[in-house]
Amino acid sequence: MTELWNALPLVIQILLKITAILLPLLGLVAYYTYAERKVIGYIQIRIGPNRVGWRGLLQPIADAVKLMMKEIVIPTKADKTLFLLAPMIAIAPAMAAWAVFPFDEELVLADINAGLLYILALTSLGVYGVIIAGWASNSRYALLGAMRSAAQIVAYEIAMGFALVGVLVAAGSLNLGAIVAAQQGSLLTWFWLPLLPLFGVYLISGVAETNRAPFDVAEGESEIVAGFHVEYSGMGFAVFFLAEYANMILIAALTSLMFLGGWLSPLPQAWVGDLWLLGDGFHWLLLKTFFFMFVFLWLRATFPRYRYDQIMRLGWKVFIPITIVWILVVALAVVYRLPPWWSA
């Protein structure tokens, strides 16, 4: 099998690897929408989808078929090129970011040294899709949603960036695999403990960054109908929807990787012994990612939408000062080799 793989041209190998990442990801995105409706249904004492397939399991497929059949209506006087380009700009960074994401010690498409920088650059590109969609739609509601989204994402992008600077200082590397390796040990040597304020800021900023409740003012249906994508129908709307859920999965996976040790086991190596299921592996990364994906849904079902001024105040006046102060605290801890994280 290895000989057959090595015989393939490099371009074919890369394309097969990309397919192996993107196909499960798109399937997960589709069924994440189903999970959201089920989870929120149970939290709010409702049933959720239960008509298409056993317990509604075929609902995402039915939704996809329905959206593919719908006509794409382009508003009069809208900028047609930008209108059609915006959904692609929104989803492309959410997919491309997985190129440097390590699923295991060796399982990574592109193991680049500046992986963290690449992730930070790509995740900040998604806002352009939102802004262009609002501008190109020739609609006041869409433009209002785009402006809200731009201001919100800029505010929380800075806080997220500073939180990642804390991770960089703690790990001493921009390589995502090296960041996980720096957390080797057990549950107590992961970065969630020394970087606890940054962990909280990163997770909440991730919720705001993806325009999810309670930070979904960009698509506040009670005020601006549906915000930036109000004029989109059919597959244009579907791609924005996919981009939102793909970003949520990405933020959940990155949080697991940078603060909860990625694929590392929470148990010390001495306790694991020969039990491979308790040892390090991809299954731990999957469990941690699923937990944070559930947190996204839990927050949506629990909290009411914040006012716009409250969201801005939280981003600029609370999160950014906290991250700056804690970066200095972490830097001092690294310099003075605070055990058990930096004692070696």
> What digits encode the pLDDT tens for the residues 136-149?
988 888 888 888 88
Distance CA 199, CA 260 (A): 9
Confidence of residue 14 (pLDDT cuts 50, 70, 90): confident
Task: Report the helix count and the strand count for the chain, using DSSP H and E.
Answer: 15, 0
pLDDT category at 225 given cuts 50, 70, 90 is low
Read off the tokens for 78.
């809208």
Name the token pair of 278. 């308790």
In angstroms, rounded to a whole number, what is the distance separating the alpha carbons of residues 225 and 186?
48
Contact criterion met (CB below 8 Å) for 322 and 167: no
Question: Up-side HSE of residue 263: CA atoms within 13 Å toward CB?
Answer: 18
Mean pLDDT of 34-57: 90
Could you tell me the residue ranges of all domains in the chain?
A: 1-69, 74-336
Token digits for 53? 């397939």
pLDDT tens digits, residue range 201-218?
999 999 988 888 788 776
d(CA 141, CA 224): 5
Q: What is the C-alpha separation between 114 and 173, in angstroms, rounded?
A: 8
Please give the structure tokens belonging to residue 171: 């790990």
Share of the chain above pLDDT 70, in %: 97
Distance CA 110, CA 32 (A): 26
